[in-house]
Homo-oligomer: A and B are copies of this chain.
Amino acid sequence: MHESLIKYINSYTSTPLADSEIELIKNTFVHKKIRKRQYFLQEGQVCKFSAFIVKGAMRQYTVDDKGAEHIVRLLIENWLAVDRESFVMLSPSIYNIDAWEDTEVLIITKPDSMDLFNQIPVLTEWRQHLDELHAFAAEKRLSASISFSAEKRYSDFASAYPEFLQRFPQHMIASYLGITKETLSRVRHQAAKK
């Protein structure tokens, strides 16, 4: 169950985890199943857990005054589902996170994660690396959102994350790109003609 997490951590650290460290990780991360459409986090709650996705697919979104959903992140295996600001600051979250497929996660609380980082220093490397990747991706997405047309954003997304197109319905992709599902449908129609 924890193998994919261990493997994932090892792929980002200079020295592999020792057996004792692996034990510690296994004892700290708790396995949990989240069924399709079930919430992992609801707006207004403090995000008490960070969830490593072992299997499945989730989405993180806000809901506006008119009840419309705006998806800020789509998540699959090997990603962390968490509202980082709420998790770190203990502030109420503005996001909802729920499962789109039946999902299995490994969850950890903030205090447990702090202990774990203290006991396994090499994890700090892992976190730094993740932070960097996260920052790179955020920068690119931001740059795309202010610079590119809907069509270009979609084609970039489709080539960067082809598996997402298979696993999430189009109206969620549209929301993630900041356009309506009708616009996405038209954009795809245009693109197909070329």
Which A residues fall within an 8 A CB radius of B?
A: 62, 64, 70-72, 84-85, 88, 124, 127-128, 131-132, 134-136, 138-139, 141-143, 145-147, 175-178
* Residues in B neighbouring A62, C-beta threshold 8 A: 143, 147
Most chain B CB within 10 A, of A72, A131, A134, A147, is at A147
Is chain A's interface secondary structure helix, strand, loop, or mixed overall? helix
| A147/B178 contact (C-beta < 8 A), A135-B131, A139-B138, A142-B142 known | yes
* Residues in B neighbouring A138, C-beta threshold 8 A: 135, 138-139, 142
Closest chain B residue to A132 by CB distance? B88
Contact of A142 among B84, B127, B132, B141 (CB under 8 A): B141
Min CB–CB distance A50 → chain B (angstroms):
13
A-B contact pairs, 13 of them (CB 8 A): A72-B143, A84-B136, A85-B139, A88-B132, A124-B124, A127-B128, A131-B131, A131-B135, A138-B142, A142-B142, A142-B145, A145-B178, A146-B177
* Residues in B neighbouring A84, C-beta threshold 8 A: 132, 135-136, 139
A72 with B178: CB separation less than 8 A: no
The CA of A71 and the CA of B147, in the complex, are separated in Å by: 9
The CA of A156 and the CA of B72, in the complex, are separated in Å by: 18
| A146/B145 contact (C-beta < 8 A), A84-B136, A134-B135, A135-B138 known | yes
